[in-house]
Amino acid sequence: MQDSPANVTLLLRATAAGDKRHVDALLAAIYDDLKRLAAEQMKGERRDHTLQPTALVHEAYLKLIDQHSTNWKDRVHFFAVASRIIRRILVDHARARAAAKRGGDSDRVGLDGVPEPLLLSGVDALALDDALAALAEIDARQAEIVELKFFGGLTIEEIAELLSIAPRTVDREWRCARAWLYCRLSEQGASAVPGD
């Protein structure tokens, strides 16, 4: 990324405050990172998938800059919210496709490029969303850590900073949540392999 995290934070705050003069500068500052996240999420998709990384980035960006009530703390906070929005877009797309097929096969979201992937390629987006919702009922923080790491691509250190907890705690919760999700998805028959 060409801009410093401090500059990105200033741009985020100005845009959220309604100063539209900084929208273009903000997009330039974060576009490559958003595109990387989207490309990682889309790696395992079929070639004729109607949702492409660029479209995913643009849809996520439009939703992100429309977050007027969000008080952006910094770049990490922005990408935490971005990870949730990207997850919602992918899940909504999978649901729409499944509904169009009248209950046919769900979209498979390939997640091969994600650092320390929770699960490798072939994860059913709907099954993962349901499993994360179930995990959130048991342990909301673990579900948030999975979302930030898996969909947001944040590092253990970035998640620790965002959640104001120790990196060792994040790592422990990440491992626990990964194991729980593996068991849950295996019970549901989803093809899942635990990350390293």
What residues does 124 pair with on adjacent strands? 108
Identify the residue whose tokens are 């944040």: 154
Residues shown for the chain: 196
Q: What is the pTM of this model?
A: 0.58
Contacts of 39 (CB under 8 A, 6+ apart): 53, 113
Closest C-alpha among 150, 152, 151, 148 to residue 160: 148
Residue 193, exposed/middle/buried by CB under 10 A (0-12, 13-18, 19+)? Answer: middle
The pLDDT tens digits for 60-74 are 888 877 766 677 778
The pLDDT tens digits for 85-125 are 887 888 788 777 776 664 444 444 443 433 333 343 456 77
